[in-house]
Amino acid sequence: MNLLQGIKMAWKSISTNKMRSFLTMLGIIIGVAAVIALVAVGQGTTAKVTEQVASLGTNLLTVNITGRGAATALTFEEAQAYADIPGVQGVSPIINGRISAKYGNVVKSVPLEGITPDYELVRGFHVQSGRFITGLDIDYRQRVALIGTTTAQNLKLDDPVGQTIRINGQSYTIVGLLMPKGNSLGGSNDDKILIPITSAERLLRVKGIRSIYIQAETPEMVAPVKEALEADLQGKFKGSTTAYTVFDQQEMLSTMSSIANTMALALGGIAGISLLVGGIGIMNIMLVSVSERTREIGIRKAIGAKKRDILLQFLIESMVLGGLGGLVGIMIGVGGASLAGRLTDMSVSISWSVAVFAFVFSLGIGVFFGMFPANKAAKLRPIEALRTD
């Protein structure tokens, strides 16, 4: 018996019992679909997290001051002095808080950051109209503001540049509308107001700097700059390592990518269990099929069919069940993942290499779990098989 003849016989047997064949393949279908969909979501999440972290800059360092004793912050001059560290391209100390913004009759609670002109370089925020914060705004504590696109929409500001809004009851003139930046791990980058850092000290009644963004010249300079920062901070806080934290964006990127990849593998592994359950279902049905077709096997052996012909017949049948289940599962998995990506905010990345692996794995399961029933059928004696009613 050749392969083509075996496939025809297998298809005839499967089509004869359509409902039973479908229920047999159901475990494989669910397993393959789950593997593809979950891995697609996992890889999409990994790519999104990596993109968000990378958008902050792989050569970015973030210093947060928690303080020790009476020393709870750095002065503006101390923070700016970090620009003199070799390898530092830009330093942007910030003061942040949440304020009440009012325009006309609209009042919104909005995140606010007090910044310096270097914020544009270090954080990559630019204006689409108007101007950015300048050194003169810092020196003279000007009441000027930059506004995000989402904040402008929420405050019903169609043409915000030149308009006056009230921030915690004080009048500020909008001098620039920020370009859209989308969301990041910290939330929306478009729902915020930026003002000069010296004005923010007075407005928020904050003394000193507790957060600093520092950009190294190159990713290779991140490590030496970080060492210099930690050495200086240890000196300022008398050797305490709990008074500050220095976040390396590269380390965060590696950590987040590792976590996301591990989750994707775990989800794929859990879904893979369904494939094994489906394989057990195939073996169970094939054993039932051998019992039902014992007389057929006896007749085929009596007219000259060899042991390998019977083995190949049932092995091909189990492979066809596994392969068909795999193909249907791929279609459902790809379609379901794509639909989920369109209907929700989830990021989905279809991996065709995973789809091919899942199909090959489903074929392998058909072979593995079909081997025992096929071998049992091949070992039947013609006389005993013909005696079976």
Q: How many CB atoms lie within 10 A of CB 354?
A: 21
H-type alpha helices, the chain: 3-16, 18-55, 76-80, 119-123, 135-139, 149-154, 197-204, 222-236, 249-292, 294-302, 307-343, 352-378, 382-387
pLDDT at 214: 93
pLDDT at 385: 54
Nearest to 165 by CA among 190, 141, 140, 148: 148
Whole-angstrom distance, CA of residue 304 vs CA of residue 299: 9
Q: Is the pLDDT of residue 133 over 90?
A: yes
Dump pLDDT digits (tens) for 331-389: 998 888 888 888 877 778 787 887 888 888 888 888 787 777 777 777 766 666 555 55
Model-level pTM?
Answer: 0.64
Dump pLDDT digits (tens) for 273-315: 777 777 887 888 777 777 766 666 677 766 766 777 777 777 7
Q: Is the pLDDT of residue 266 over 70?
A: yes
Q: Is the pLDDT of residue 105 over 90?
A: yes
- Higher-confidence position of 72 and 87: 87
pLDDT at 58: 62
Dump pLDDT digits (tens) for 173-230: 999 999 998 777 667 889 999 999 999 999 999 989 999 999 998 888 888 999 999 9
Contact (CB, 8 A) for 61 and 226: yes
Decide: residue 141, CB within 10 A, 0-12 exposed, 13-18 middle, 19+ buried: middle
331, amino acid identity: M
- Higher-confidence position of 68 and 82: 82
